[in-house]
Amino acid sequence: MNGRLLRWLMSLALPPVNGSDGGPRLTILRHHRVFESGARPLYRLGVSERVLAEQVAMLRGAGLGPVTVAEGLERLAEGRPGRWVAFSFDDGYADNVRRALPILRRAGGRATFYLTAGLIDERRVPWWDIMAHAIATSRRARLVWDIAGRRLDLPLGDERSRRAALAQVLPCFRVDPAEQARRLDALREMLGVTSHAECELATWDEAAQLAEAGMEVGAHTLDHPYLDHLPPAAQGAEITGSVERIHARLGLRPEGFAFPGGAYDAASVEACRRAGLAYAVTTRAGDNRARARASS
Ligand SMILES: [Zn+2]
Query: Which residues are near ligand 1, the ion (C-beta closer than 5 Å)?
Result: 90-91, 260
Mean pLDDT, all residues of the chain: 91
The pLDDT-based confidence of 219 (bands split at 50, 70, 90) is very high
3-state DSSP assignment of residue 191: helix
Which of 172, 191, 210 is at the close of a domain? 191
**pLDDT, tens only, 223-277:** 999 999 999 999 999 999 999 999 999 999 999 999 999 999 999 999 999 999 9
Do both 38 and 169 map to the same domain?
A: no
Query: For residue 66, is the peptide bond before it cis, meaning its omega torsion is within 30 degrees of 0?
Result: yes
Least confident of 73-87, 144-158, 189-203: 73-87
Do both 7 and 92 map to the same domain?
A: yes
The pLDDT-based confidence of 295 (bands split at 50, 70, 90) is very low
Domain membership of residue 221 (yes or no) is yes
Cα distances from 259 to residues 102, 222, 256, 264, 282, in angstroms, run 26, 11, 10, 6, 6
**Strand order across the 112-115 sheet:** 25-31, 83-91, 112-115, 216-219, 256-258, 279-281
3-state DSSP assignment of residue 157: coil
Do both 93 and 147 map to the same domain?
A: no
Q: Is the dihedral angle over the CA atoms 112, 117, 122, 125 positive or is it negative?
A: negative
Do both 50 and 119 map to the same domain?
A: yes
78 CA distance to ligand 1 centroid (A)? 29
The pLDDT-based confidence of 79 (bands split at 50, 70, 90) is confident
115 CA distance to ligand 1 centroid (A)? 8
164 CA distance to ligand 1 centroid (A)? 21
